[in-house]
Structure formats: structure tokens, C-alpha cells
């Protein structure tokens, strides 16, 4: 005949796996919940710029029509550029590297100042103004950039860009230097300053290579420069601006 103490011991041993499973489930829930609670979103509208100071003392300048999600944890620092463009001045911490994601592009910060421009879902440009960063795709480092270096990531391919001498991103003064970039990229940058949608009505225009220096914060001036240099017409409507091939249907 078993003794009462033996029954209690057996019940205790049987309950231990359940308690361990419950503790593991609670730990997983905490690990999933804490990053969600620690994520901060910053947004700007068209024509609006904003400077934010992060919890770790780093500073970020947001261009127009930009969304940034930032996560600062005791063991991790990172940000996701959902859309738009941002200039990062990251405080160096050896124990917590800072990473920026822009689509599939990954930027690992080594304590520096740099600019990330998400030009489309599959196209990102990175320029370093101080220090160094690693640029890659899906977390794999492909290229190390130092002061004055730039890189472009298009459809998962990382390529180095010509060195620059500027001390700050040109978008801060409302300009963009284009060198054989698709018209869709230029229009996307102008759109960050325009309250009205800018529509490329012919899909063939999206990939039209554009070069030159454009005053993107002045919508009319930028589009007039495009119209003067390329075979396009710009039609200004009350609710939208349309760009069409010159002489096409619906053009004067």
C-alpha cells in the first residue's frame, strides 16, 4: 500500500514537465512582446522634415514622406526604413551594433554618419559621410563603405558608386544629383515634397534614364527641368500632376 507522501511526490514529478513547458511559453511570449513594445515609429508627410533623437542618443533626420521604425533594446539596436530617406548619426556602442534595414538591403553600422535612400521596394542607395558601414543583402555583408563612399542595391545586387565630396546629403538643401537613374526614382524623390500625386501615365517612362541636378523640393521647377530636357509633357491638374510622352494622346 502506497503512502500519502509517495502519491504527492509522484504528482509533483508529473507536474514538473507542465510547469517547465508553461515557463518556456511565458519566456517566448516575453521575448516576442518586448521588441513589439520597444518599437517606435516616426513619420513625415510630403514636404515635411523632422529630426529625432533615439533612446541611445543617436540622431536621425527624416526627409519628406518617410517612415522609420526603430527598436532599441538592451541587447540590440536597429531600424527599418519603410519608405523615404533618412540621415543617420549613430552613437558608437561596441556591445550593441546598429543595423538599418531597407527592403532586402542591410546596413551594419560601425559608429558613423550615413544616408539611406529607399528609392523603390527593390532599390536602395547608401552614402557614408563619417566612419564606415557594411552594406549587404539579407544580412550578408557584401561591401564596406568609408567616408565619401556610396553603394546602390538594385534587385539584390550591390554595386559601388562614385565617391562624393559633400559633407551632408543634398536632400537637406532640397537637391538631387541624378546620374542615369530611372525617371521613376527622380519622380519618387520629387513626390516627397509634393502634396499632389505625380503620375507617370506611360509605363515606358518609368525606366527612362535621367541625369542632372534637380531642385526636388520645388516641384514645379524640378518637373519643368525634366520637361525641358526630355521628351515628356507635364500636365498640372487640380488633384494630380501627370507626366506623359511628348506629343502623346491627351497632350496639347
Q: Which of 161, 188, 204 is the last residue of a domain?
A: 161
Mean pLDDT of 160-175: 91
According to the model, what pLDDT value does residue 94 have?
A: 83
Question: Sign of the C-alpha dihedral, residues 160, 162, 168, 172?
Answer: negative
Q: Which of 111, 133, 161 is the last residue of a domain?
A: 161
pTM for the full predicted model: 0.81
Per-residue pLDDT tens for 49-92? 999 999 999 999 999 999 999 999 988 999 999 999 999 999 98
Structural domain contains residue 1: no
- The domain in which residue 100 lies consists of 39-161
Asked if residue 194 and residue 216 are part of one domain, the reply reads yes
Band (248; pLDDT cuts 50, 70, 90): low
Pairwise CA distance, residues 64 & 50, whole Å: 8
Q: Which of 103, 134, 161 is the last residue of a domain?
A: 161
Asked if residue 131 and residue 83 are part of one domain, the reply reads yes
Per-residue pLDDT tens for 86-135? 999 999 888 899 999 999 999 999 878 999 999 999 999 999 999 999 99
Asked if residue 157 and residue 217 are part of one domain, the reply reads no
Asked if residue 184 and residue 220 are part of one domain, the reply reads yes
According to the model, what pLDDT value does residue 41 have?
A: 97
Per-residue pLDDT tens for 199-211? 998 889 999 999 9
Asked if residue 148 and residue 197 are part of one domain, the reply reads no
DSSP assignment string, 36-99: HHHEEEEE--TT--EEEE-TTS-EEEE-SS-EEEEEEETTEEEEEEEEEEEEEEPPP-TTS-EE
Q: Are 116 and 85 in contact (CB under 8 A)?
A: yes
Residue 192 grid cell: 516627397
φ, ψ of residue 180 in degrees (nearest 5): 55, 45
Asked if residue 155 and residue 81 are part of one domain, the reply reads yes
**CATH no. for residue 154?**
2.60.120.1440
Residue 5 grid cell: 507522501
Asked if residue 134 and residue 93 are part of one domain, the reply reads yes
Coil, helix or strand for 110? Answer: coil
Question: Sign of the C-alpha dihedral, residues 160, 164, 168, 169?
Answer: negative
Q: Are 183 and 199 in contact (CB under 8 A)?
A: no
Q: How much of the chain, in percent, has pLDDT values that exceed 90?
A: 70
Pairwise CA distance, residues 43 & 66, whole Å: 6
Return the bridge partners of 100, or none.
79, 107
Residue given cell 557584401 in the structure block: 142
Asked if residue 135 and residue 49 are part of one domain, the reply reads yes
Structural domain contains residue 47: yes
Residue 244 has pLDDT above 70, yes or no: yes
Mean pLDDT of 215-235: 95
Residue 154 has pLDDT above 70, yes or no: yes
Residue 35 has pLDDT above 80, yes or no: no
Q: Are 145 and 151 in contact (CB under 8 A)?
A: yes
Number of domains in the chain: 2
Amino acid at each position: 500500500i502506497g503512502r500519502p507522501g509517495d502519491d504527492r511526490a509522484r504528482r509533483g514529478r508529473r507536474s514538473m514537465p507542465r510547469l517547465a513547458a508553461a515557463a518556456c511559453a511565458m519566456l517566448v511570449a516575453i521575448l516576442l512582446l518586448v521588441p513589439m513594445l520597444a518599437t517606435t515609429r516616426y513619420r513625415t508627410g510630403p514636404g515635411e522634415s523632422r529630426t529625432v533623437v533615439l533612446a541611445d542618443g543617436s540622431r536621425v533626420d527624416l526627409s519628406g514622406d518617410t517612415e522609420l521604425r526603430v527598436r532599441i533594446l538592451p541587447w540590440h539596436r536597429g531600424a527599418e526604413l519603410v519608405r523615404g530617406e533618412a540621415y543617420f548619426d549613430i552613437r558608437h556602442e561596441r556591445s550593441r551594433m546598429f543595423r538599418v534595414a531597407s527592403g532586402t538591403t542591410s546596413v551594419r553600422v560601425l559608429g558613423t554618419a550615413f544616408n539611406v535612400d529607399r528609392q523603390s521596394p527593390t532599390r536602395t542607395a547608401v552614402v557614408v559621410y563619417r566612419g564606415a558601414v557594411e552594406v549587404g543583402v539579407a544580412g550578408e555583408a557584401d561591401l564596406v563603405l568609408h567616408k565619401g563612399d556610396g553603394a546602390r542595391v538594385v534587385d539584390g545586387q550591390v554595386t559601388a558608386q562614385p565617391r562624393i565630396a559633400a559633407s551632408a546629403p543634398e536632400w537637406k538643401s532640397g537637391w538631387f544629383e541624378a546620374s542615369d537613374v530611372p525617371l521613376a526614382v527622380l519622380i519618387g524623390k520629387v513626390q516627397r515634397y509634393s502634396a499632389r500625386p505625380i503620375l507617370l501615365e506611360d509605363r515606358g517612362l518609368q525606366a527612362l534614364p535621367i541625369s542632372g541636378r534637380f531642385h526636388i523640393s520645388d516641384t514645379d521647377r524640378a518637373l519643368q527641368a525634366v520637361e525641358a530636357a526630355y521628351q515628356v509633357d507635364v500636365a498640372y491638374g487640380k488633384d494630380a500632376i501627370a507626366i506623359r510622352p511628348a506629343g502623346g494622346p491627351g497632350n496639347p
